[in-house]
A and B are shown apart, each in its own frame.
Chain A
Amino acid sequence: MTVLVARNLVKTFGALRACDGVSLDLHRGEIHAVIGPNGAGKSTLIAQLCGSLAPDSGTVSLLGEDVTGLPVAARARRGLARTFQVSALAMEDTVLANAMLGSLGAQGRPWRFFWPVMRDRALREAAEQALERVGLADHAATRTADLSHGQRRQLEVAIALTMAPKAFVMDEPMAGLGAEGSKTLTGFLDTLRAEAPILLVEHDMDAVFALADRISVLVAGKIIATGTTTEIRANAEVRRAYLGEEA
């Protein structure tokens, strides 16, 4: 069963074809990694999958529904959860408030003006559970701006979890994490694929080869190869273009 499908996505910025006919599937239960050198068009691809950028042509579908014309919020409500490369969080609010935002969105009901949100047990429990799972439970009352870089990455993942999504799109979740943090998060994502498949854009090759069921290699806006980790390691074109000749 395919959860997220991109077909022939094209996006140009002036003369630059940032996305040049990209097709991609995300199957249930898998981690599908997208790797590629800087400027390959990974961010442009994610933006089109999540709805912050409209493709010039091509389609995106989620659970069999064509969502190409839908904005970010509508795709999120249909079960697409995204984490950002550069943390996008409400910095003045507490960690718990940020996590609750996810469950609030998942319920699709921010239209309550009087009842104190912190007394909403369902919202709160979902948020606390997610913080617990990523190891931030002790920091629930901390102001988000006071978190370390690594903890902000964890919170990004926690917010995605509270949405109980059908698919994750993660933009370099390991970026800026130390070796230890990277290892912990890798372990966590490994267990997460059973809940919802993950489209993982990542530079950390150790993490990618440890986690991915399949890897797609994006170079200059085109996917030059898709396959299992062993296939990708053995692919001559990939080695030339990306992994380096000696790899």
Chain B
Amino acid sequence: MRGMLVGAMLLAGLVAFPIWAQAADEPFLITLATRAVILALAAVGLNLALGQGGLVSLGHAAFFGIGGYAMGILASHAQSYAPLMEWPFVIEGTRSMPVIWLVAVLASALAALGIGALSLRTTGVYFIMITLAFGQMLYYFAISWTAYGGEDGLSIYVRNGFPGLNTLVPIEFYGLCLVILLVVLAFHAALIRSPFGLALNAARQSPERVRTVGIDTRRLQLAAFVLSGAITGLAGALFADLNRFVSPSMLSWQMSGEIMIFVILGGAGRLFGPVAGAIMFVALEHLLGGVSDYWHVFLGILLLLVVLFVRGGVIGLLAGARR
């Protein structure tokens, strides 16, 4: 119950903060909050694999980056009026966010299906290493892919559009991102309570038990991994749109590490854990980044304290142990 209360307060803050920033005429703070919401979405995706499924993926930047490049590639073609392909049929670029999101979700889900199917043949530290390896493969591929900017990345001049909204207005784009986060959180909450969620959670705790009642644990985990990758891919498309820029750094292993930090800092497996983690990370980055270039040291100390002394991350600290 306290978990729900903490979550409600968190969401209330996410609604109130940009309204305050708007009133105080601080558009930069709204952009900062948008960044937090989008990173939270990426982390909610990882939380499905890591927190619910126990799949420690150190390659989620792959999906984040695929979502980013889905936006970059489609929008750059719309910008140059050159079709993506002309044969056997013509595919044009687009500036429409819903279309870009759909492509980002499908592309990252497909990538997660392939990466997951191979990675899930292993467990433990091997799973971590193989997901990391796939992430790095895509990272170096993007660097060498000069058609789409290679190492320099791809810039978009104008943010893509959403019917009925002016996405160039910071608070409107923020609202759009927040609604998506809420929808995905609602999906996640439903999933945890569903038969699938029950089996997935049990498979994390005792895979042998779940197989023994007749459920194929690898298929469960693959489904979770695909959903997880799709959500993180959607976040990637939004992140690229926020910055109007996509580069290989979105695919880097540091990015994978950051997404994982959000989840662990906030509380793996907790519904609002990744949201709290991403907000804390962005806030620290903003507040301490101004004080010292070495602010990551403080982040490291904080992460150490959370992992050593707080079971269930910041949400666990505020809301108490699960159930």
Closest 3 pairs between A and B when the two form their complex, measured CB to CB: A105-B213, A76-B214, A105-B214
Q: Contact partner of A90 among B195, B205, B323, CB < 8 A?
A: B205
Residue B208 lies at the interface, judged by CB distance under 8 Å to chain A: yes
Residue B199 lies at the interface, judged by CB distance under 8 Å to chain A: yes
9 contacts between A and B (CB under 8 A): A71-B211, A72-B208, A73-B214, A74-B214, A93-B205, A94-B323, A104-B215, A114-B191, A117-B194
What residues on A are CB-neighbors of B197 within 8 Å?
A: 113, 117
Residue B193 lies at the interface, judged by CB distance under 8 Å to chain A: yes
Residue B247 lies at the interface, judged by CB distance under 8 Å to chain A: no
Q: Contact partner of B195 among A73, A84, A120, A163, CB < 8 A?
A: A120
B200 nearest CB neighbor, chain A only: A110
Chain A positions near chain B (C-beta within 8 angstroms): 50, 52, 71-74, 76-77, 81-82, 84, 88-94, 97-98, 100-102, 104-106, 108-118, 120, 123, 143, 159, 162-163
Q: Is the interface of B mostly helix, strand, loop or mixed?
A: helix
Near A by CB (< 8 A), chain B positions 170-212 give 190-191, 193-199, 201-202, 205-206, 208-212
Chain B positions near chain A (C-beta within 8 angstroms): 190-191, 193-199, 201-202, 205-206, 208-217, 220, 223, 322-323
What residues on B are CB-neighbors of A77 within 8 Å?
A: 214
A76 near B195: Cβ-Cβ < 8 Å: no
A101 near B210: Cβ-Cβ < 8 Å: yes
B212 to A: closest C-beta gap in Å = 5
A97 near B213: Cβ-Cβ < 8 Å: no
B209 near A97: Cβ-Cβ < 8 Å: no
Q: CA of A200 to CA of B223 in the docked complex: distance in angstroms?
A: 36
Q: CA of A90 to CA of B201 in the docked complex: distance in angstroms?
A: 8
B212 nearest CB neighbor, chain A only: A82
Q: CA of A92 to CA of B197 in the docked complex: distance in angstroms?
A: 13
A36 to B: closest C-beta gap in Å = 23
What residues on B are CB-neighbors of A88 within 8 Å?
A: 206, 208-209, 212
A73 near B198: Cβ-Cβ < 8 Å: no
What residues on A are CB-neighbors of B213 within 8 Å?
A: 76, 101-102, 104-106, 159, 162-163
What residues on B are CB-neighbors of A102 within 8 Å?
A: 213
Q: Contact partner of A115 among B194, B199, B220, B223, CB < 8 A?
A: B194
